[in-house]
Amino acid sequence: MQHDANLTADRPSFVTHLECGLTGERYEADVVHGLSSAGRPLLARYDLPGVAAALTKEALAARPRDLWRWRELLPVRDKAHIVSLGENETPLIGLEATGERLAARAPLVKDEGRLPTGSFKARGLVMAISMARAFGIRTIAMPTNGNAGAAAAAYATRAGIESVILCPEDTPDINVREIAMQGGRVWRVNGLIDDCGAIVAAGAKANGWYDLSTLKEPYRIEGKKTMGLELAEQLGWELPDAIFYPTGGGTGLIGMWKAFDELEAIGFIGPKRPRMYAVQASGCAPIVRAFEAGERHAERWEDAHTVAAGIRVPKAVGDFLILDAVRASGGKALAVGDPAILRAVEAAAADGVLLCPEGGATLAAYEQALADGEVRRDEQVVLFNCATGLKYPMPDKSRHLDRHGDIDLTAL
């Protein structure tokens, strides 16, 4: 497999070991792991003093604007194992019309739909698949609500790895077809994503698949944390006042919180942190319920339903890591209804930005937080649009024009 020259690392990764996110128990790096012995996610740890000595802001600025520019803080040791589809830095886009409508500072959208396979899932899956390739894994499997499966299939196919993808039967058809087109063996399951996950877990045990379920392996989070690394640099090493993040499994929120600590440890930012808002749909809000109850773990949400399929996760294995980050930041977990989500998607279009439903949820939550006085109108806020809106149904507002009849050109 060939890789672009600008993706090659000129030094090995600084990863030292893995650590249970709940107990702190240490695990050896460079060995295949799933969950810790406590059944909780493993987090990669780095020689941060070594990174600080090896990397400067000036050196970073001279590198290509892609995910791999952060190589000292990523787990892939050998450049030959990188499986890339061109993981570009994503832009921050100001919603000026939205700011005027809300009489507030224009919120910024981090538009993750510009990544390969059209979603932020590319960040996590390129890292997980690259590490799977390093380990010599032949088959990966995962449950998905759509976009993660598409990214997994694309990267696995590029790496010569088989992929088995299970999704709820009501997963958007375009996602299911995309997974199959990218080479995945995709199955629709009459259940939710955690039901699919249970089948994947059984299949992994029976067939030796590598389970890439959210946070059940250590490396998707390392790819997702690059959202936080990029954001810090894009804002001149000064973090925003608040981040609104669409939260299902929560890998990105956990990853960004981890990234901020690593950036401070290497001297790139100070102690300031944004308030983290975990945004869920009111039809599937286990993190919100646990936050409001003061719990550290979230019970499974029964009868989960929402138009924002990507955040329809009834139970997240990293629930405590999400809740810890939200509370430590002074943020909140917020739920918004489907009507508000759809209104927000339409409203953002006035700024020329086509949000996915999950991205719409962040704008709806921001509007709610503004109205409640949770966020000040002069604060800098970043919303995450996790996928291109082009993958989702849109209302048809076109009208018919008969070219053979009399055309009232002024009416056009």
On whether residue 409 sits in a domain, the answer given is no
CB atoms within 10 A of CB 155: 30
On whether residue 403 sits in a domain, the answer given is no
Q: Extract the tokens encoding 376.
A: 């000040």
> What one-letter code names the amino acid at 351?
D
251 shares a domain with 138: no
On whether residue 402 sits in a domain, the answer given is no
277 shares a domain with 313: yes
On whether residue 61 sits in a domain, the answer given is yes
Which residues of the chain, if any, have pLDDT below 70? Answer: 1-12
Q: Name the pTM for this structure.
A: 0.93
325 shares a domain with 286: yes
Number of domains in the chain: 2
264 shares a domain with 247: yes
| pLDDT tens for each residue of 210-256 | 999 988 999 999 999 999 999 999 999 999 999 999 999 999 999 99
Measured distance CA(216)–CA(142) in Å, rounded? 10
50 shares a domain with 32: yes
End position of a domain, from candidates 188, 211, 234: 211
38 shares a domain with 140: no
188 shares a domain with 304: no
Residue 12: predicted pLDDT: 60
Q: What is the CATH number of the domain that holds 157?
A: 3.40.50.1100
228 shares a domain with 202: no
Residue 394: predicted pLDDT: 87
CB atoms within 10 A of CB 397: 5
173 shares a domain with 42: no
Domain that holds residue 46: 1-119+218-392
Angle separating helix axes 319-329 and 286-293, nearest 10 degrees: 50
Residue 411: predicted pLDDT: 87
369 shares a domain with 230: yes
286 shares a domain with 156: no
End position of a domain, from candidates 181, 211, 241: 211
Q: Where are the beta strands (DSSP E) in 185-264?
A: 185-189, 210-211, 242-246
**C-alpha atoms less than 13 angstroms from C-alpha of 256 in its C-beta half-sphere:** 30
Of 244, 246, 242, 340, nearest to 285 (Cα)? 246
224 shares a domain with 183: no
